[in-house]
Amino acid sequence: MELVPNFSLLPYNTFGLDQKAKAFYSVNDENELLALLSKIKDNIYVLGGGSNILLTKDVDGIVLHNNIQGITILEQMNGSTLVEVSGGVNWHEFVLFTLSKNLGGLENLSLIPGTVGAAPIQNIGAYGVEQQDNFVYLEYVDLETLKKYRCYKADCGFGYRESVFKHALRQKTFITKVAYNLTETDHVLHTEYGAIDQVLKEKNIDNPTIKDVSNAVISIRQSKLPNPNEIGNAGSFFKNPVISQNQFEDLQTLYPMMPFYPLNESNVKIPAGWLIETAGLKGYRQGNVGVHNRQALVLVHFGNAKGKDVLDLANHVIDSVFKKFQIELHPEVNIW
Ligand code: FAD
Ligand code: NAP
């Protein structure tokens, strides 16, 4: 069991930034993790696929990469199936596994990069579905006490791109496995969000299966989102802001074309991509980083930049949007 010192994280973050970790270790099972933790006294940073982090400097600590593999079908009862997945499994490969078993629930979350262990951290979501909709429990090792815990949904504090693991338990856990309850029959499909219905219609699919919905999501994502293998990015850099009904009404008078999604009687979600685009920043380039020219919510790295350059650009976007709309954008990406 050897820690690799002075390790470049270049292949381990989708922004493609070349920052180093003091030491690195790829964890293959839970016993290995516990043995390692009992010896380490440094700061610990847990890493999955590196698709939701921005490395702004070298990491002053030990990076533990989650590579724990395995999917187990635990229980099949009353038309649903409980599946337990190890944290290092690639999320999209897990979704493909569920589709191959005709298990419904995760089809809208197809092609999201990263690992299963990271999915609960920001309660990943897309096209009207969040991982919490099928989530049952997760297991984690407390990085300080080395104790193992099982955390059920009610204790995870899931919200819009939120969980307790981004707050009270931030950087305190290593999530080893997650369990989801999926439907075997009578799948309830969510096709009304984004262009899913339109894509299904174009393909003349009247009675879609979960595989059809997954394929539609995959094709929409491939046509809209920059591929991190081609250009560095971490998906949406900012969360969609939620503003008060009063502020919304004032803004709507000024910008009648502003898209909006009411969350309840007093709060409205505004797409951050529209705010950034309307602030004139879609396609904006600052040195070797920029705002993507098709999806303004995504910041991109053209090569040879530092994480600090991305952070400076993010701050410029935040300032510009605030000046124009008095709305504060908050990063969704974890800044290291
Ligand atoms: P990492 O980036 O490795 O880590 C993210 C955070 O979680 C870090 O703080 C890390 O310390 C912590 N962490 C990771 N694994 C563990 C663990 N096992 N235990 C404890 N802490 C851990 N997100 C969405 O919600 N919806 C989308 O549609 C979406 N689309 C994307 C598209 C693109 C092109 C990209 C690049 C990203 C997208 N994302 C999306 C963001 C990202 O894919 C998700 O947040 C994903 O869950 C991150 O997984 P990861 O393994 O890469 O996490
Ligand atoms: P889109 O369909 O162009 O929509 C723009 C924004 O409007 C989205 O962010 C979405 O909010 C919101 N929206 C659209 N239809 C909605 C509805 N019926 N009800 C409520 N809100 C609605 O978005 P996109 O950029 O192509 O992304 C499609 C989906 O993939 C979105 O759900 C998005 O969150 C997800 N995605 C996430 C990331 C990431 O890194 N987090 C990256 C790419 C895509 P929500 O974001 O709240 O859904």
Q: What type of residue sits at position 267? A: N
Integer Cα distance of 283 and 81 in angstroms: 45
Which one is predicted more confidently, 185 or 56? 56
Q: What is the DSSP string of 63-76?
A: EEEE----EEEEEE
Q: Is the CB–ligand 2 distance for residue 127 below 6 Å?
A: yes
Residue among 116, 121, 236, 239 to mutate when testing ligand 1 (max atoms within 8 A of CB):
121
Residue 216 CA to ligand 2 center (angstroms) comes to 15
Q: Is the CB–ligand 2 distance for residue 299 below 6 Å?
A: no
Q: pLDDT at position 77, please?
A: 86
Q: Is the CB–ligand 2 distance for residue 272 below 6 Å?
A: no
pLDDT in tens, 263-305: 999 999 999 999 999 999 999 999 999 999 999 999 999 999 9
Is residue 176 within 8 A of residue 33, CB to CB? The reply is yes
284 SS3 class: coil
State yes or no: is 332 an active-site residue: yes
Q: Is the CB–ligand 2 distance for residue 290 below 6 Å?
A: no
Residue 118 CA to ligand 1 center (angstroms) comes to 5
142 SS3 class: strand
Q: Which residue's CA is minimally distant from atom 6 of ligand 2?
A: 271
Structure-block tokens of residue 184: 């075997």
CA-based angle 258:260:264, to the nearest 5? 150
Ligand number nearest CA of 45 is 1
Is residue 63 within 8 A of residue 24, CB to CB? The reply is yes
Residue 250 CA to ligand 1 center (angstroms) comes to 35
Question: What's the burial of 5, exposed, middle or buried (CB within 10 Å: 0-12/13-18/19+)?
Answer: exposed
pLDDT in tens, 71-120: 999 988 889 999 999 999 999 999 999 999 999 999 999 999 999 999 99
Integer Cα distance of 193 and 186 in angstroms: 20
Lookup result for tokens 């394929």: 215
Question: What's the burial of 22, exposed, middle or buried (CB within 10 Å: 0-12/13-18/19+)?
Answer: middle
Q: pLDDT at position 1, please?
A: 63
Ligand number nearest CA of 9 is 1
Q: Which residue's CA is minimally distant from atom 37 of ligand 1?
A: 235
Structure-block tokens of residue 170: 């931030």
Q: pLDDT at position 41, please?
A: 86
Strand-pairing partners, residue 90, are 115
Q: Which residue's CA is minimally distant from atom 20 of ligand 1?
A: 174
- Mean pLDDT, residues 150-169 taken together: 97
State yes or no: is 170 an active-site residue: no
Integer Cα distance of 134 and 158 in angstroms: 12
Q: Is the CB–ligand 1 distance for residue 131 below 6 Å?
A: no
Integer Cα distance of 56 and 72 in angstroms: 37
pLDDT in tens, 27-60: 999 999 999 999 998 899 999 999 999 999 999 9
Q: pLDDT at position 194, please?
A: 87
| pLDDT category of residue 125 using cuts at 50, 70 and 90 | very high
- Mean pLDDT, residues 15-21 taken together: 98
- Mean pLDDT, residues 8-31 taken together: 97
Q: What is the DSSP string of 112-125?
A: --SBTTTTTTTT-E
97 SS3 class: helix
Integer Cα distance of 330 and 336 in angstroms: 15
Question: Which residue, 319, 290, 320, is CA-closest to 305?
Answer: 290
| pLDDT category of residue 2 using cuts at 50, 70 and 90 | confident
Q: What is the mean pLDDT of the chain?
A: 97
Ligand number nearest CA of 194 is 2
Question: Which residue, 160, 180, 27, is CA-closest to 94?
Answer: 180
State yes or no: is 32 an active-site residue: no
Q: What type of residue sits at position 23? A: A
Q: Is the CB–ligand 2 distance for residue 263 below 6 Å?
A: no
